[in-house]
Amino acid sequence: MTRADPYPSRVSGAAEVLVRKDPVVHGSASDGPLSGIELETFERNGFLALDAFFDAQEIRALRAEAERMRESTLEDEAAEVIREPGSAAVRSVFAVHRSSPIFAALARTPRLLGAAMQILGSPVYVHQSRINYKPGFRGREFYWHSDFETWHVEDGMPRMRAVSVSLSLLESNVHNGPLMLIPGSHRHYVACAGTTPERHYERSLRQQEYGVPEPAILEGLARRGGIIAPLGPPGSIVLFDCNTLHGSNGNITPWPRSNVFLVYNSVENALEAPFSGQEPRPAHIASRDFAPLTLCR
């Protein structure tokens, strides 16, 4: 029996923009650490930037762990380690909440986990975690995309009920390839053209080719909502909806930019079979351990 697909993508030669069918915020101001105004901002824009969410001491410990992991993977051929296109520089290390007790504790930090449960209105688990390293001079771009489009097609995430956290370990400034987002884009589902190749993730994590919106669609959404790049010192975070279009430029400055990326998914939105009909991506990219997280005391 064929499943009904609420968000079809990569099933034809034409791209189209569909209306979102799911709520953006499932909880209320009384359910967690975010204020009513903060929840309204998240719901309106599809993201919320908060400066100084973690203090200098906390960031020093996280940055030291991130650097330790980078150095330990310089010669590592593990699947969790992704290299920059055309370079041996480490681009990302995946599943850090499983390999590092420090990042496992970070994922369960009350103010982070509480905000995720507040937005999603349920217990949550970590769908994906990684450190993105954008080294000076060599850090390549991340092209515009909606995470949900990939997670739906390639992982089987049924609905738009996940939230991402980008935590800056180093300063994010206007020059070093900061995260960019299109406000309001989360209310539109961009169904992409083409068909997903088998084992697409082996190339897409280095440089994505499928599941990226067409320029005309991006231009229309950007004209309507603009583009915002939240800047800030280490310890700043951006919470963003799983369907918000985002990306970042390459870094040709001497100043590296790195961030911890955590994705919380509602336990009521557990992964199914991928809507592409292909085999699921590996667990270090898309976890199928749906056990809810508990707060780290």
Kindly tell me the sign of the dihedral angle through the C-alpha atoms of 48, 52, 55, 60. positive
Please report whether residue 4 resides in a domain.
Answer: no
Whether 8 and 149 have beta carbons less than 8 Å apart is answered as: no
CATH of the domain at 53: 2.60.120.620
For residue 1, tell me if it sits in a domain. no
pLDDT recorded at residue 297: 63
Distance CA 35, CA 177 (A): 30
What token pair was written down for 158?
A: 């049924």
Q: What is the pLDDT of residues 34-82, one digit of tens each?
A: 999 999 999 999 999 999 999 999 999 999 999 999 888 766 678 888 8
Residue 284 is assigned to a structural domain of this protein? no
End-to-end CA distance of the chain: 46
**Torsion angle of C-alpha atoms 194, 199, 202, 205, degrees rounded to 10:** 50
Structural domain includes residue 60: yes
User: What pLDDT is attached to residue 204?
Assistant: 53
Residue 24 lies in a domain: yes
Model pLDDT, residue 195: 75
- Which residue positions in the chain have pLDDT lower than 70? 1-2, 74-76, 199-210, 297
What's the pLDDT score for residue 139? 81
46 within a domain of the structure (yes/no):
yes
Say if 286 falls within a structural domain. Answer: no
With DSSP H G I counted as helix, E B as strand and the rest as coil, what are the percentages for the chain, rounded to 5? 30, 25, 50
Per the structure, the count of domains in the chain is 1
Task: Say what the pTM is.
Answer: 0.94
- The reply to whether 173 falls in a domain is no
SS3 236: coil
Per the structure, the complete domain to which residue 152 belongs is given by 18-163+192-269
Tell me, rounded to whole angstroms, the distance of Cα 166 from its chain centroid.
7
State whether residue 284 is helix, strand or coil: coil
For residue 152, what pLDDT is reported?
96
